[in-house]
Each structure stands twice: as C-alpha cells, then as structure tokens.
Structure 1
Amino acid sequence: MTDDPQIAYTAHTSPRNRRPRRLSAAVLTLATIVTAPAVFAGAPPICGTVIVPPGVGLGTPPGSVTSLNPLLAKSAYDTEASGLLYYGLLWVNRDHKIDWSRSLATKIDVSTDDTTFTVSMKPWTWSDGVPVTAADVKYTYDLIRKLGPTFLNYGTGGVPTLIKSLAVLSPEKFQVVMKHPVNPDWFELQGLPILTPFPAHSWGKYTINQIWRRQSQPSFVKVVDGPYRVVSFRMGRHVVFGVNPTYQGHKPEIPRLVMKFLHSSGAVIAGMKTGTLDIGNLPFSLWQAGRRLQNINLLRMTPNWGFDFIQINFRNPKVAFFRDLKVRQAFADAIDQKAAIKLLFHGMSHAQHGPVPVDPPTFLSPSARAGKYPVGYDPARARGLLDAAGWKPGADGIRVKDGRRLEFTYLTYAGGATAMLYAEMMQQGLRAVGIQMNIRQVTFNQLLALSHRPLTWEAMGFGWSLASYPSDGNQLETGGAYNQAGYSNKKLDRLIEAVRTEPGDKALYAYQDYAAEQQPEIFFNEPGSVVMVRNGLKGIRKSFPSTGSWSPQYLHWALPQCTARVAENASP
C-alpha cells in the first residue's frame, strides 16, 4: 500500500505471478486516469531511461532491494526486482485464468484422478544461448526442497510438500505426480507458477550456502531469460537494469530502468516534482501535494490481491486472552474500517473480514458476497462479547479479568504517517470497548526478525499477498511455514486440506466463512493505491497488468523530443 498501515508480507506468491505481487509478490487494475493540475518545476525526463522506487504500483511504502535471487527474496521489493530477470512458467490474468501467450508453459494435461500434471513448454533460451529446458524446472524444484522453509513460498500450492515426484520427460516436457489427488485449479494457479526455471548450467556449480552468499551479486544472476539483466547494484542506493538482448518476448522499449531506493513518502513526492523519478506511489498522507504536481498523471489502482491483518501471538502467555474467540471477535468488531477507508484512503478500498480478497469478488463465498460476515464494526456487540468472556471494565475503563488488564502492544512499520493514523484509529476504537492497545513503531526488518521470536512480541501488523487461488494454508494451518503466531485449529486445518483436494469452490467457501468467524488473525482492508506517472511515459496499462506482475518492458517515452535521444541511451 502507499504509505501503508502495514508492510506487504509477500510470502505467499510465486516470483513470476507476484513479480511486480504481488513477493511471488499485487493485483492491480487501472480504473481511471486523471491529469493533475498545478506547477511543475522539474527537469524533463531522460529519454531512454525510466527511474522508479521499488514497490511502484504495489501500494507499499518506499524501500530497498536486498536480494537479486527470486528464490531468496525477503520482501516485495526483492521480488519485484528479481522477477524482471526470469520468465515465468505460468502467467495468470485478472480473471484468474492462465494466459498461455505470456507463459513459458504451453499446456497442462491432468490425469483423471487429479494426481498427475504433465506440463509442456515452448522453446526458450537463456541469455548465453543455452536452451531453457524441463531440466531447469527440475533444478528449481530440487533447490526449493533443499532450501526448505528458507524459501519464502515453501509449501505454497503444495510445492514441494505435496509433490511425490517431478520427472523430466523430454527437454520441453515434465511431469509432476502428487502424493494424493488435489484440486486442479488450486495446484495450477497456486503451485505450478512457483516452478519458474532457473539456469542449472550456471547455478548448479554452487552449493546452497554459496547461492545464499551470492544473492546480492549481479555476477551470479548474469544468465537470465527475462526481459532485463542487472547492469549494476549498489546496496542501499539503486539497482540499474539493462535490456536482455536475447529475450524472446516483448522487447523492452526502455533501454535502461533504474530502481532508486527511497525511504520516505516525502522523498517520492520530491522526486516526482524535481524530475528525478518518473513513476511513484502517491502517499495517502501527501494526497493534496501529489495532486498539485503538474505534468503528472494520476492512475488509480484497485487494492492488492490480498488483505491486511493484525497477527496476534498465540504463543506468548502475556496475551493468552487472544486464545479466546470472544476476545478476537470483539477486537474485530471494534475496528471501524469504513471510517478509515473514507478518512485515510479516500474511499479506494472495501472492508475486509476474512482471508479471501473482496476486490475483485471472484472467489468470495455467497455469504461474503452478500456482506454477511460474523464480525464487523459493532462496538455494542464487542462489549457484549467481552462481558460474556468475563472481562469487566476497570476504574479507567480498561477491562480486567482475574487481576489482569486486557492490554497488549502492537508493533507497526515505522515511517508512514497513514500507518500511524490507522493504528491510532484502531487504538481509539479498541479503548472504547475496554481494550488497551499500546503502539510501538519498528523498522520492517525488525518486524520480520521479531516475528520469529515468539516471546518478544504480542501483536504486529502485516499485509498479505495471495497467489491467484486464495487458499492460505501456509499462514493459518497448524505448523504452517508462516504461522509464526502459533495458531492451531483442527477444523480449519481440515477445511484448508479440503480446498487443496476437492475440485470446485465449495471447500473454499466453507474455509473462508469459518476463518471469518474464528478470526485467527484480525483481518482488515487492503487499501488501493494511486500511481503518479510523468507525462509522455506510455505503455502503463500493459506494464501494470491485472495480476500485479510489474512488466516495464512495455513502457516507452512518447515525447517528440525524446525520439532522437533514445539511441544515445541504449547502452547504460
């Protein structure tokens, strides 16, 4: 999100499918284009070059790239950058259908018992002339197995946890056999896209530890098959991309792309004003400042294909009260999402109460589609739930039970004004029903580090990006790779397993309705975003496809004065 109340915890999507998500990964659709008025005092754009901060179009705050290896990406920024280097096995569009024209795969044959998936691939070539083959897909699969939970998407779509075997049948065909029948839609949209091929002939000479140590070295990712190659990378400063001359897809029309690392919303506005940025997210906290910029187009995006949530720590005995369903439901009932959407996010989002995105409503259950959630903003009901759970108001209004106050500390990302405002709105809503939420701001890296130390935190805020099929086992099932909070519910586990194994969407509906009731984490809205684009920069619609995979190869400058200068900048 732009100036997000949470950081995109993009652990749930494949590098290609999430390639801006959108980490492995945001679902973006251009809705309106409005030319902003006012005065622009910046320099003209550099023809042949586009300069952007990481996270553009994702709605995330500005940040830095730290890894160039998609398998080792730690954030949306890493995935966005590394995803430009490699061509994905499958491309999934806004309608959650595979677009074969933009996929390395050409077809998938599924056995009648839903256990065997045979994938055919188109001819493709690495930048050093070596063919991309099914053996490279097998190499990726083997790497994921060796990396284990270190791999950000480990277990997503059953990769590799539910795969019995992956065999190479020919240079352009491989076969995946599952341990048991699975839901074909789930596996094809969530599992197979993770198997982006990586160059076995280049990477294969290194051990896992060596690959880990080289994840920030441009020389390691020299062999690519995507639209771009890395020209230079300066940690904390920028990464510069040039064209991969052997790329067989749409040739990049901009010969040089620069990701400039910024760390404040104000720096993005300043960059757009002075001409040192060509695209940037419009911070909600600086809404009017962005709209006053001249020669800038504002492009409205729909929310990321995911949701925001407050992760509550079931492992920490200091907040054992979170294990009580009534307390969790009261928590959700105390958050006025609609007020926040109106006041902070300019009406660009919708309230979210469960684990399946509401925008678009493609996979919503009938009850969710009708807006019938077991929780929602209702302070009176929240007070009744807390009364029933035995929490009585103390002298200062904060509830007490067995001598213990209903109080916890919430960790949120430091650096965004809107993030703090949303946290304060939640704080006020919770206090009104008798819950004390203390707010502590930390850096994103601290947030991630603390999440793996159960006794060091009580609640923290994240954003969660989903793959094209919105099951969420890694985060919510018992022992899930990203279930740092320690939540465990046997019924939810069974429902998640049914999503994986039963064809159709009936199991998905049952899972999401039950999760909305149980609130294993407190779900709330993922805001949309507005992207600022300098006049004369074209190809935006194709560069921000609906799946959220950032595709800058479609960008081009249309200003007449640029024509003669493009060739001058062709070699960064």
Structure 2
Amino acid sequence: MNVNSLLPVVNNDSSANNQIITLMYRPLLWIGTNLKINWQQSIAKSITVSANGRQYIIHLKPWLWSDGRPVTAQDTLACLRMIQDYGSRYPNAGMGGMPELIKAAVVINRDTLEITLKRSVNPRWFELNGLSQLFPVPSWRWKRYDINQLYKLQDSPSLVSVVDGPYKLKHFTQGRGISFVRNASYSGKPATLKYLHFKMYTSDASAFWALKTGVLQAGMIPHYLFDARWMVKNLQTCISNGGYGFNYVTLNLANPKVAFFREVKVRQALALAVNQKQIIQTAFHGLGVPSFNPVPTSPDTYLSPEMKKLVANPALAYNPGAANKLLADAGWKLGPKGIRIHDGQRLQFTMMVPDTSQTLIAVAELLKADWQAIGVDMRLRVLPFNLELARLQPNGNWDASMIVWSYNPDFYPSGDGLFNTGGGSNYGRYSNPKMDRLIHESTQNKNISYLYKYEDYAYQQQPVIFLPYPEYVVKYSQKLKYKQLMEGVYSVDCKPTLLY
C-alpha cells in the first residue's frame, strides 16, 4: 500500500497511513490485541471517570518530545481541536462521539486534561472509541497552521521533525519508500530495531520476489501465491489475523440508479447468495474466518451468541434458494440471459474493487459468480485504493464498493460512525431509526447485551454485505526475533507456525 500522509487527523484513515503515523506519534491510549488499554504503552497514565460517565480526567505520564520539550495536556487538547476544526471531513467523525459529544475540554495543569461530555455514556466505549483517537501533537509548532494548511502539508517531512514516538522520520519518497531511525529521546521502552524501512510496491508479486531475494526482511505472502510460499524457505513464518476488522461490500443507498439496494429483501438475498466457505477455501487458501455482521470474528471478544453459532456453521447463512425466493417476492422476475428485471430495470450494478490485492479481485470474481447464479448482474471496476476512497463521497456517482475495515481507533465495535445516520464512514448513507437506537444504546449501556442486539440486527438488515475475513502468512528473517517483530504492533495477533 502507498503512504501519502504523515499527520494525525487530516489523513485519509488508511491502515498504511495509520501505522506509519503511529511510529512517530504515540496515541494517548494504546489498545492491545486483547482489545483493552495497554497502560504500559500508553502516554496516558490513568483516567478518572465520574460516577455518571460524563467527566474524564486524563493523567499523562512524564513524556518528552524528541527536542526535549515535555508532552503536555495542551498538546493533547490541540489534537482534539484539530478534529473539531476538521469537522465533517474527519474520516472518523461520529465514532466514539468525536467530536460532537464533547461539551468541554479544559487543561487542568501540564499533565492533566479534563473532558466533559454532553451526556452519560458507556466509559469503555468512550475510552476505546473516543479517547483512542487522540494523539498529542506538537502544538507550539503547529499552531501557526490552520486545519486547511495542515491538510495541504500532510505529506511534508518538515512538519514531523519533532515527534514523541519510538521512531523519527529519516527519508520519505511517495510511492517508493519511507525510512525511520530510532528516536533516542523516546520516553517509552527503546525500539529494538535501530533502522526501519518500508518499501512500497505496485504489486503483490513484486513484494513476494523482494522477500524471496532478501530485499525485504519481513512481509506478507499474497494469498494467490500461497502455493509458492516454499520458495521463501529461508524465512520464519507466522500466521496473522490481519488485525481487528471485517470485510464488506458497501452499497450506495443514496444513488437513485441503484435504488433497489434500499430494499432489505434485495440486500438479504445478496447476503444469502455469498458462499463464504468457498471464498475462504478458494481465495484465502483456507486461511480465514466467516463473518456475518460488523463485529469481528477474530478475536470473538464481542461476538454475540447468535453470531458465534453462524460462524461455527456458516452453511446456515448460505442459501441461494432462499435468496431467489426473496428476490421473486420483491417483484424481481428472471429476464433475458437470466438477469432479473423489475418494472423494466435490470438488477445490475458496478462494484469498485481496490487494486491493492489480487486476493480482493479474486473475492470479487467469486461474488460475481455467486450473484449471477441468483439473477444479479454485477460488473467489476478495479481502481487504485486512494481513488476508491476519493470516490466514496456522499451522494457520489458510484454503485457499490469493496471495503476492508479495521477497527482502529474504534476498538469497541458499536457501529457509531459506520451505520448510524450521518456517520463519517457510513459511505452508503444507510439510515434506519432502529439501527440508530441500537447503536446509541450500545454506547450508553455497560451491559454487553446491548452490543449483541445491535450486531444481530445488523445481520438481519445487511446495511452492507458482509464478507469473510482473511488471515495472512507473514514471513520474517531469522535475524528478527518473533518478540522483536511483534513489539508495539497495534492490535494485530500473529502466532508462530511451522507452516511451510
């Protein structure tokens, strides 16, 4: 993937940008693979929460910027002000209540920030989804720029000369590579690796050969090259869950050309026709897990009992016969060439697919075959990932798009920002009063049963079409110990294996 931003908040929220930014700027709260706050890795020392869940007093550790200045509560507040100034352009708008839930934010002293909310909420939700979005930023350096200037300068190395993370930027060439050197002034545990370099490849095959020839010391084996993994026999292997997330096809409910997506029976039919077991076996080579709702399957920390049953027996969610009946009941009759027609309109749409992975394209081809079997004509449009993100705009002229969603920074998977009305990442403009209520209740109440109600309803409604989630073969040099490789990795679980 390409890295095109170095700054928090104003980037496009791609996983590549987030990972790079986190090397230089430590988040206020570090969330571990167990989906809990890792206080040892966090800049925050502790958080005091009022009994009513409205006041949050954040206590910072003694922490330094790379130029020796202290990281302060004012620096944390500056990040919140950036989010507020960025407004609806902020990709995570609405998640964790950011920023509309904030009533007041006040610096108590150099190491203490108090945030007051407009209403009482579930503290775990606000910490994992709201406060997790805050990165202390060098406020004394950036205060000369307004939010629009920061957006224009987001790829400028000069703005990241002072950092508080484990690495400092050494060199950055868009589309080619980005290099880091260990930050000698880092306040946390010193990074094990002195130098870290990421190469950006235009194809999975190029990255594979770089692994094979030793140009890369760590990298992923693409699924479509799984059978050639033995060629990289000089490297160790681990299997990664790819992070805490889910894959889906978002549907543009605001586009009148594909207004049929607004019919729940059409969406349910599309979901019932997806053969997730076949996708896992064919496109992922058996490395993946079924997923039928927006709450990730791996780990299943927040998965409802009903969804766990489906994951254990995915055949229950695959029923092309039922899909055909739903479409027929909705008035879609088989027409020429086996494509369904209703009131003269063909059941046809185009799906954007990012070119970042041949695996995604393979999944799209399998979906095309699954949906053609029930009378749906789906066309594919493969395009660069950043272009796909740029076109996923409100009321944009697109039909559907394949998305890989990572819960970062929204680690409590309540759906705020994703499927609530007006959510910042609600690309298809899905709107349902009951869904809004269930999402709201999951953010209000500590009892996890409210989250279960939301995810079970999402499965019934299919605001998007949920897809299985892949696992990945990661190869790494024997000179890199497994502990070193995984040190500081943000919510990704990778287990050593003897897979060859």
TM-score (norm 1): 0.82
**Is the counterpart of residue 184 in structure 1 residue 147 in structure 2?**
no
2:169 aligns with 230
- Paired residue for 1:438? 379
Check if 1:477 corresponds to 2:434.
no
Counterpart position of 1:71: 9
Q: 1:393 aligns with which of 326, 334, 338?
A: 334
Residue 395 of structure 1, CA deviation: 3.4
1:316 Cα deviation after fit: 1.1
1:272 CA displacement:
1.0
Moved more, 237-246 or 328-337: 237-246
1:558 is matched with none
CA distance in 2, matches of 1:196, 1:76: 16
TM superposition shift of 1:541: 6.0
Whichever residue aligns with residue 479 of structure 2, its letter is: G
Task: Tell whether 2:476 aligns with 1:537.
Answer: no
CA distance in structure 2 between the aligned counterparts of 1:226 and 1:517, rounded to whole angstroms: 43
1:405 alignment partner in structure 2: 346
What SS does the corresponding residue of 2:248 show, helix, strand or coil? Answer: strand
> In structure 2, what is the Cα distance between the partners aligned to 1:424 and 1:109?
51
Conserved 8 A contact 2:236-2:475: yes
Q: Is the 8 A contact 2:243 2:493 kept in 1?
A: no
CA apart distance, 1:151: 2.5
Is the CA contact (8 Å cut-off) linking 2:220 and 2:475 kept in structure 1?
yes
Give the conservation status (yes or no) of the 8 Å contact 1:304–1:528. no
Distance 2:175 2:35 in 1: 36
Partner Cα separation in structure 1 for residue 438 and residue 372 of structure 2? 34
Q: How does 1:405-424 map to 2 (within 5 A)?
A: 405-414=346-355, 416-424=357-365
Instruction: After TM superposition, give the deviation of residue 288 of structure 1 in Å.
Output: 2.1
Shift of 1:326: 0.7
Question: CA contact under 8 A between 2:226 and 2:285: conserved in structure 1?
Answer: no
CA 225–441 in structure 1, closer or farther in 2 if over 3 Å, else same:
same
Give the 3-state SS of the residue equivalent to 1:292 in structure 2.
Answer: helix
Query: What's the CA shift for 1:547?
Result: 4.1
Indicate if the aligned counterparts of 1:333 and 1:375 stay in contact, CA closer than 8 A: no
Q: What are the within-5 Å matches in structure 2 for residues 41-440 of structure 1?
A: 63-74=1-12, 75-371=14-310, 376-414=317-355, 416-440=357-381
User: How far does the alpha carbon of each residue in 1:37-61 deviate from its partner, in whole angstroms, 9 at most, with x for none?
Assistant: xxxxxxxxxxxxxxxxxxxxxxxxx
1:144–1:445: structure 2 CA closer, same or farther, 3 Å change rule?
same
Q: Using the TM superposition, give the Cα deviation of residue 419 of structure 1 relative to its aligned residue in structure 2, in angstroms.
A: 2.2
C-alpha distance in 2 between matches for 1:96 and 1:252: 22
SS of residue paired to 2:9: helix
Contact preservation (8 Å) 1:238, 1:260: yes
Higher RCO (Cα < 8 Å, 6 or more apart) = 1
Contact 1:393 1:400 in 2 (8 A): yes
Q: What amino acid is aligned across from residue 119 of structure 1 in structure 2?
A: I
Paired residue secondary structure (2:317):
coil
How far apart in 2 are the matches of 1:299 and 1:545?
16
Amino acid at match of 2:229: G
> Unaligned 5+ residue runs, structure 2?
495-500
Q: Does the CA contact (< 8 Å) of 1:374 and 1:516 recur in 2?
A: no
Distance change >3 Å, CA 162–CA 415, structure 1 → 2:
closer
SS of equivalent residue, structure 2 residue 46: strand
Matches of 2:148 and 2:402 in 1, distance apart? 31
1:542 CA drift (Å): 5.7
Unaligned runs of 5+ in 1: 1-62, 552-572
Per-residue deviation, 1:455: 4.6
Structure 1 position 375, deviation (Å): 7.6
Kindly indicate whether residue 464 of structure 2 is the aligned counterpart of residue 525 of structure 1.
Answer: no
Any idea what SS the aligned residue of 1:229 has?
A: strand
- Asked if the contact 2:54/2:119 (under 8 Å) is kept, the reply is yes
Q: Number of paired residues?
A: 489
In the TM superposition, residue 107 of structure 1 has moved relative to its aligned partner by 1.4
Whole-angstrom CA distance in 2 between matches of 1:246 and 1:549: 26
Letter in 1 for 2:174: M
- Deviation string 1:308-334 (CA, Å, 9 cap, x unpaired) is 111111111111111111110000001
C-alpha deviation, 1:366, in angstroms: 1.9
Q: CA deviation at 1:537?
A: 1.5
Q: Hey, what's the Cα distance between the residues in 1 that align with 2:394 and 2:414? A: 26
Q: Distance in 2 between matches of 1:476 and 1:507?
A: 16
Q: Which piece of structure 1 moves more, 276-285 or 466-475?
A: 466-475
Structure 1 residues 542 and 505: alpha-carbon distance in aligned structure 2, compared to 1, 3 A threshold: farther
Sequence identity (%):
38
Do the aligned partners of 2:33 and 2:492 also contact (CA within 8 Å) in 1? no
